[in-house]
Amino acid sequence: MTMEKPKDDNVVSFAGRRGDIGAESAESAFGASISREDNHDFAANEQVLGLVSRILVDESLPFYVCALDGTVIHLNDHYKTLDNALGDVTLAPGESKYLGRYAVPSLKPVIDDVLACETTVRAEEIVSISGRDRVFLGRHTPVKNERGEIIAIAGTYEDVTVQVRGIEEANRTQARFQDFARASSDWFFECDADMRIRSLSERFTAIVGQPASLFIGSKFEQFGRFEENLEKRFEGAQAIRMRKPFREQLFVITEPSGGEMKFHLSAVPVFDRQSGDFRGYRGVGMDVTARYVQAAEAEHIRRNLETLLKELTRKNMALDEATEQATTALRAKNEFLAAMSHELRTPLNAIIGFAEAFESETFGDLDTAYVGYATDIRKSGQHLLGLINDILDVAVIESGGLSLNIDEQELGQLLTKAVHMNIDAARQKRLEVSGLDVVTDLCVKADDRRTTQILVNLLSNAIKFTPEGGAIGLEVEAQEHLGKVAITVWDTGIGISEEHAEHVFEKFHQVTEHIYSRTQEGTGLGLHISRELARKMEGDITLESTVGAGSRFTVLLPVSDGRNMDSDYI
């Protein structure tokens, strides 16, 4: 801060900074001393002028003497030189050219302070020289006469810019160091050559909950223990013996409650700069308790996972073995069923053939009772043949041996074929069959025989589970967005509950909740086989049903444009 020079004879402004008040006496204040003589009856200013030559002062410093009214009555040559160097600004005593002429207002606060404490007052004043701030330390001392009365103020100025800037820079450096230290660690310590603690930061008290002073003079081993850290390193003790730096040495402190606090200690050795003697260690401590708790939990979880993995691996091996055994058993079963089905169908076809011959009296007239027996034999044989065929189909599908001949087929011909195979049974049951008359020019990509098998099976079920007087029918709809044709077989039969609808496509499942269904025969394989066949042809079968109102089974098959139809269908 600066003091401008007066614009006129009555204006002087002061903008200095006053510092602490010292406790020095008037006779030994910063190089200035007062010699006292016998009492003289001079006026105050005359007494001061008489004393100026007797004041001992460091002549290398700017020096002034002022009366108590603020009039500067003496300036030495160094002050005048400094005043000329300051240019437009000046120190509190003002410009040297006004010596003895005016009371300087800027000296009034200084004079008041000196009179109040009756001792030397120190004050810093900041002025600008050549555009750079300079700091001057003023020492303002009371001048007393032989009666001990203060009759003037004497002062010196010392340029302390370098010292002040050095202190400021040291403070900034220290502040930066403290910031870095706080960011990188929790607390600091210093040990002597015997590894006894000489100092601990207050942060240590906040962390452990005990005064740091309790640990001064102790070794670390007296209130904790060193252990391996997470990386299995235990280098602290050896590093200390070899007077080397160490990092992240785990140190464990047991709390009064029995809990443990864990710290990572890092330190560097300190040596005397001149003699090279070892003086001890300086280092930092980082609270890593939470990290070690997390590591312990992670290790516990890892071990549990390893145990579970071993158990899962063992079970997977057992499951693989069981799966292999099941696959082998299923393959053997399917091979057995396929072989037995072929073996059974040969004599069964002969039985059915002879029963049909007896029934039609091909070899001559028979008694009516025998004709009836032949009819029963034929029906039973045909039923048994149907069971064998279903079992064989299931075995072939599950073994992966199903062979399909996918080709473009006229849907109308497939529907006509299936209807003709079931129309007599529907009429014998007095069902309304007008809904079976469906005309369509759509084509599908499918296997002829297997598609007919699906439609026959669905129509047979519709007839079987529809009471007399009911109705059955077909619907065809192109679903172009799916690239499929939907063929729906509907009936007004007993319907299927939602509970059973989820299982009708499973093997050996039959709806037996209705009294009417108990009279129907079957293996429970037809719908399972039909859906598997549809899926093998990139289609599917879905069901919509209401108990007592009937069912709708919809077959989805890939649509075809019919361009590659065989000539037989044209």
Quick: pLDDT tens for 123-145.
Answer: 999 988 777 888 999 999 999 88
Question: Which residue has tokens 């073995």?
Answer: 321
Percent of all residues in the chain with a pLDDT value above 70, rounded to a whole number? 83
What distance in Å separates the CA atoms of residue 28 and residue 568, rounded to the nearest whole number?
137
For the chain, the structural domain boundaries read: 3-167, 185-287, 306-398, 403-569
H helices within 3-107, ranges in order?
44-52, 77-86
* CATH number at 306-398: 1.10.287
143, with CB counted inside 10 A (0-12, 13-18, 19+), is buried
- Directed axis angle between helix 368-399 and helix 526-536, to 10°? 40
At residue 249, does pLDDT exceed 90?
A: yes
Task: Return the bridge partners of 552, or none.
Answer: 490, 544
pLDDT digits (tens, 9 = 90+) for 188-218: 899 999 999 998 887 888 888 888 888 899 9
pLDDT of residue 281: 94
Closest CA to 247 of 280, 286, 196: 286
User: What is the token pair recorded at 183?
Assistant: 């960011």
Q: What is the mean pLDDT of the chain?
A: 81
Q: Which residues contact 106 (CB under 8 A, 6 or more apart)?
A: 3, 12, 13, 14, 16, 92, 93, 94
What distance in Å separates the CA atoms of residue 172 and residue 560, rounded to the nearest whole number?
87
What is the DSSP pairing of strand 406-410 with strand 197-200? unpaired
> For the residues 313-324, what does the mean pLDDT come to?
92
Question: E strand or H helix at 247, and its extent?
Answer: strand 246-254
Task: Return the bridge partners of 406, or none.
Answer: 447
Q: Are 289 and 260 in contact (CB under 8 A)?
A: yes
What is the DSSP pairing of strand 471-479 with strand 432-435? parallel
Q: Are 237 and 257 in contact (CB under 8 A)?
A: no
- Directed axis angle between helix 289-359 and helix 368-399, to 10°? 150
At residue 6, does pLDDT exceed 60?
A: no
pLDDT digits (tens, 9 = 90+) for 340-370: 766 777 788 888 888 888 888 877 887 888 8
Query: Could you tell me the CATH superfamily of domain 185-287?
Result: PAS domain (3.30.450.20)
First-to-last alpha carbon distance for the chain, in angstroms, is: 113
> For the residues 333-339, what does the mean pLDDT come to?
72
CA torsion through residues 100, 106, 108, 111, sign: negative
> For the residues 294-303, what does the mean pLDDT come to?
92
pLDDT of residue 79: 92
Q: Are 226 and 220 in contact (CB under 8 A)?
A: yes
Q: Are 344 and 391 in contact (CB under 8 A)?
A: no
pLDDT of residue 16: 36
pLDDT digits (tens, 9 = 90+) for 30-78: 333 333 333 333 445 665 666 666 666 677 899 999 999 999 999 998 9
Burial per residue of 472-489, b for 16 or more beta-carbon CB atoms within 10 angstroms, e otherwise:
bbbebeeeeeeebbbbbb
pLDDT digits (tens, 9 = 90+) for 360-415: 887 788 788 888 888 888 878 777 777 777 777 777 777 677 788 899 999 999 99
Question: E strand or H helix at 254, and its extent?
Answer: strand 246-254
At residue 27, does pLDDT exceed 60?
A: no
Confidence of residue 523 (pLDDT cuts 50, 70, 90): low
Confidence of residue 292 (pLDDT cuts 50, 70, 90): very high
Q: Are 342 and 335 in contact (CB under 8 A)?
A: no
User: Measured in whole angstroms, how far is the alpha carbon of residue 196 from the centre of its chain?
Assistant: 44
Alpha-carbon distance values, 44 to 30, 104, 493 (Å) = 24, 17, 138
Percent helix, strand, coil in the chain, to 5, is 40, 25, 30
Amino acid present at 499: E
Q: Which residues contact 158 (CB under 8 A, 6 or more apart)?
A: 61, 136, 137, 139
> For the residues 209-237, what does the mean pLDDT come to?
88
User: What is the token pair recorded at 398?
Assistant: 């599950």
Question: E strand or H helix at 373, and its extent?
Answer: helix 368-399
Could you count the other beta carbons within 10 Å of the beta carbon of residue 212? 19
pLDDT of residue 317: 93
What distance in Å separates the CA atoms of residue 14 and residue 90, rounded to the nearest whole number?
9
Q: Is CATH 3.30.720.210 what the domain over 3-167 is classified as, yes or no? A: no
Domain 3-167 and domain 185-287 have a common topology: yes
DSSP string of 462-490, one letter each residue: HHHTS-TT-EEEEEEEEETTTTEEEEEEE
Architecture of the 403-569 domain = 2-Layer Sandwich (3.30)
At residue 221, does pLDDT exceed 80?
A: yes
pLDDT digits (tens, 9 = 90+) for 428-469: 999 999 999 989 999 999 999 899 989 999 999 999 999 999
User: What is the token pair recorded at 48?
Assistant: 């001061």
pLDDT of residue 442: 92
Q: Are 159 and 136 in contact (CB under 8 A)?
A: yes
- Directed axis angle between helix 526-536 and helix 448-464, to 10°? 150
What distance in Å separates the CA atoms of residue 34 and residue 524, rounded to the nearest whole number?
131
What distance in Å separates the CA atoms of residue 376 and residue 380, rounded to the nearest whole number?
6
